[in-house]
């Protein structure tokens, strides 16, 4: 059923008894053209674009739990394309463009809200680095504005301009950045993919990859063997485990990133603001909760939960930036498992196994990348060549030295 004000009105009169499942709870078929492993945002988007852009609809997305149970539902919902390096900027900009038309495309209101993303700077060299980045964005056709202290103050007057340890000097603003209702992205893609014939198979865990003569032919799952001509991994957080089933080691570590939400309060902050002197970013959801986060805990983990030092670091940064937050209460915190890559940038590439494709290494950037990741991964799978905005995301870039290291932190995942 198409979603609209009219269908909503019609169903309201019928007591909402006519709504049908948003997607079929499919049982796995014996064989597919493409099997996407991972029912998160990226996997679902990949399946959707395979069907909608490439006419490949004999596709299943298999998910070990319920769809959207990974990072698509565990992030701080920020979208932006304020990247520095040419390997990244066009990709994230394409993603932002897809976000801008997503809801009409998939007929699902994911509450894409371009509220502006403001990165604060606190020193001259940070200003220079943001100018460099802003200019790189502008050269790539992305919107960016460099604000001085007074322009920042006019925008977000409640921050600490009085006695901050690291005074706010200005900021880099991307007005087209913003936030999106995260769960709706998974559900919207799932529903749209399902409507185009994609099977969404939940509670189906992959236990092995079937590889014959260097070519993948299918997967073993808790719901039986499934054959496939092509298999696509979109399991960020667990990429190494799945790749390990194909005998591969990846330039990736799994780390926990915590996120936080406060109790709902009346509107306080319109934009997404990031603190430049600590690891902290904050915005407010439509329900009124302040959504915020900080640095990863910093050690390998698959536990989906973090520890107090990082929690306190985030709260300290919150108070340092915005001292009015003191009496607002943090309601929940949780952890997601990030694929932290060795240069802080993702991988969308073939693998040495024929027919096996890899989408991994998203670090913190995975949510905002969802549409373009799906789009480019579908392109790679369908045509066996990288999409033009994702050519840099090669698996061999670490061997050649063509790393995409936005922060210049080097081969240490927990510093990206």
Partner 1 sequence: MSAKQPFRRGDGGLIDRASPVSFRFDGRSYQGYAGDTLAAALLANGVRLVGRSFKYHRPRGILSAGPEEPNALVELRSGARREPNTRATVAELYDGLEAQSQNRWPSLDFDILSINSLLAPALTAGFYYKTFMWPAAFWEKLYEPLIRRAAGLGRAAMEEDPDHYEKAFAFCDVLVIGGGPAGISAALAAGRSGARVILCDEDFRPGGRLLADKREIDARAGSEWVADALAELASLPDVRIMTRTTVLGVYDHGIYGAVERVSDHLPLPPVHQPRQRAWRITAKRAVLAAGAIERPVVFAGNDTPGVMLGGAVRTYLNRYAVLPGREAVVFTTGDDGWATARDLTAAGANVAAIVDPRPQVDAALVALGKAIGARVFAGSAVSRASGGKALKQVTIRDASGRETSLACDLLAVSNGWNPTLHLTSHQNTRPVWDEAIQAFVPGTMPAGLSAAGSAAGHFGLAEALVDGARLGSEAAADCGFAAKPLAATAKTDPDAVSISPVWRVKGGKGKAFVDFQNDVTDADVELAAREGFRPVEHLKRYTTLGMATDQGKTSNISGLAIMAEQTGKTIPETGTTIFRPPYTPVAIGALAGHHRGPDFRPMRLAPTHQWSKDLGAVFVETGLWLRGQYYPKPGEDHWLTTVNREVLAVRNGVGICDVSTLGKIDIQGNDAAEFLERVYINGWKALPVGKARYGLMLREDGFVMDDGTTSRLAETHFLMTTTTANAAKVMQHLEYCHQVLWPTLDVRMVSVSEQWAQVAVAGPKAREVLRGVVDAQHDLSNEACPYLAARNITVGGGIPARLFRISFSGELAYELAVPADHGDAMMRALMAAGAPYGITPYGTEALGVMRIEKGHVAGNELNGQTTARDLGLGRMMSAKKDFIGRVMAGREALIETERPALVGFKPVEIGQRLRAGAHFIGLGKPAAMEHDEGYMTSVAYSPVLKHWIGLGLLKNGPKRIGERVRAVDPVRNGDIVLEICNPVFVDPEGARLHG
Partner 2 sequence: MRITCPHCGARDVQEFTYLGDANPQRPEGMATTEAAMHDYVYQRDNPAGRHRELWYHSAGCHAWLVVTRDTRTHAIETVETARARAQGDAA
Q: Which residues contact residue 166 at a Cβ distance below 8 angstroms, ignoring those fewer than 6 apart?
A: 122, 123, 276, 277, 278, 320
Query: Between residue 330 and residue 389, which ones bind partner 2 under the rule CB under 8 A?
Result: 342
- Nearer Cβ to partner 1 (47/216): 47
Alpha-carbon distances of 283 from 74, 75, 111, 261, 316, rounded to whole Å: 15, 12, 14, 10, 16
Quick one: DSSP state of residue 113?
B
Rounded distance, CA 351 to CA 63, Å?
21
Quick one: DSSP state of residue 119?
E
Rounded distance, CA 14 to CA 94, Å?
41
Return the axis-axis angle of helices 182-195 and 366-383, rounded to nearest 10°: 20
Q: Which listed range, 20-28, 67-75, 319-327, 406-414, lies at the site for partner 2 (CB under 8 A)?
A: 406-414
Q: Which listed range, 37-45, 206-214, 247-255, 261-269, lies at the site for partner 2 (CB under 8 A)?
A: 247-255
Rounded distance, CA 358 to CA 58, Å?
19
Instruction: Select from 249, 266, 287, 329 the one that contacts partner 2 (CB under 8 A).
Output: 249
- Give 83-102 as a 3 state SS string: CCCCCCHHHHHHHHHHHHHH
- Nearer Cβ to partner 1 (229/333): 333
252 binds, among partner 1, partner 2, none (CB under 5 to 8 A by kind): partner 2
108 binds, among partner 2, partner 1, none (CB under 5 to 8 A by kind): partner 1
Under the binding rule (CB under 8 A), the answer on residue 252 touching partner 2 is yes
With CB under 8 A as the rule, give the number of residues binding partner 2: 25
- Nearer Cβ to partner 2 (19/299): 299
Instruction: Select from 11, 57, 107, 307 the one that contacts partner 2 (CB under 8 A).
Output: 307
Under the binding rule (CB under 8 A), the answer on residue 251 touching partner 2 is yes
Rounded distance, CA 36 to CA 303, Å?
24
Under the binding rule (CB under 8 A), the answer on residue 247 touching partner 2 is no
Under the binding rule (CB under 8 A), the answer on residue 161 touching partner 2 is no
Taking a C-beta distance cutoff of 8 angstroms, is the pair 108, 191 a contact?
yes
Instruction: Select from 126, 179, 195, 240 the one that contacts partner 2 (CB under 8 A).
Output: 240
Chain residues that interact with partner 2, rule: CB under 8 A: 238, 240-241, 244, 249-254, 298-303, 307, 309, 342, 398-399, 411-414
């Amino acid at each position: 059923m198409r979603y609209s004000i009219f269908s909503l009105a019609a169903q309201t009169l019928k007591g909402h008894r006519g709504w049908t499942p948003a997607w079929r709870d499919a049982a796995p078929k014996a064989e597919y053209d493409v099997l996407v492993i991972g029912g998160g945002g990226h996997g679902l988007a990949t399946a959707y674009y395979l069907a909608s852009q490439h006419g490949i609809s004999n596709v299943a997305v298999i998910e070990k739990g319920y769809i959207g149970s990974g990072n698509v539902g565990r992030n701080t919902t920020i979208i932006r394309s304020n990247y520095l390096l040419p390997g990244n900027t066009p990709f994230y900009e394409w993603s932002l463009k897809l976000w801008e038309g997503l809801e009409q495309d998939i007929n699902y209101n994911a509450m894409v809200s371009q509220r502006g993303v403001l990165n604060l700077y606190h020193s001259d060299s940070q200003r220079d680095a943001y100018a460099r980045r802003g200019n790189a964005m502008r050269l790539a056709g992305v919107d960016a504005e460099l604000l001085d202290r007074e322009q920042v103050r006019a925008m977000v007057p409640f921050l600490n301009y009085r006695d901050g340890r690291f005074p706010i000097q200005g900021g880099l603003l991307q007005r087209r950045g913003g936030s999106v209702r995260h769960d709706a992205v998974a559900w919207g893609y799932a529903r749209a993919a399902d409507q185009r014939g994609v099977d969404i198979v939940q509670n189906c865990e992959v236990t092995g990859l079937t590889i014959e003569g260097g070519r993948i032919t299918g997967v073993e799952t808790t719901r039986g063997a499934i054959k496939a001509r092509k298999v696509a991994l979109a399991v960020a957080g667990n990429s190494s485990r799945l790749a390990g089933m194909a005998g591969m080691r990846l330039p990736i570590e799994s780390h926990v990133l915590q996120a936080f939400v406060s109790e709902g309060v009346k509107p306080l902050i319109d934009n997404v603001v990031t603190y430049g002197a600590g690891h902290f970013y904050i915005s407010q959801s439509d329900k009124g909760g302040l959504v915020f986060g900080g640095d990863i805990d910093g050690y390998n983990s698959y536990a989906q939960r973090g520890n107090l030092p990082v929690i306190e670091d985030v709260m300290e940064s919150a108070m340092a930036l915005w001292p009015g937050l003191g009496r607002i209460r943090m309601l929940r915190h949780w952890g997601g498992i990030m694929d932290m890559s060795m240069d802080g940038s993702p991988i969308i590439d073939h693998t040495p196994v024929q027919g096996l494709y890899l989408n991994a290494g998203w670090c913190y950037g995975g949510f905002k990348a969802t549409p373009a990741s799906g789009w480019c991964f579908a392109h790679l799978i369908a045509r066996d060549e990288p999409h033009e905005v994702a050519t840099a995301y090669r698996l061999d870039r670490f061997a050649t030295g063509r790393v995409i290291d936005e922060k210049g932190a080097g081969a240490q995942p927990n510093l990206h």
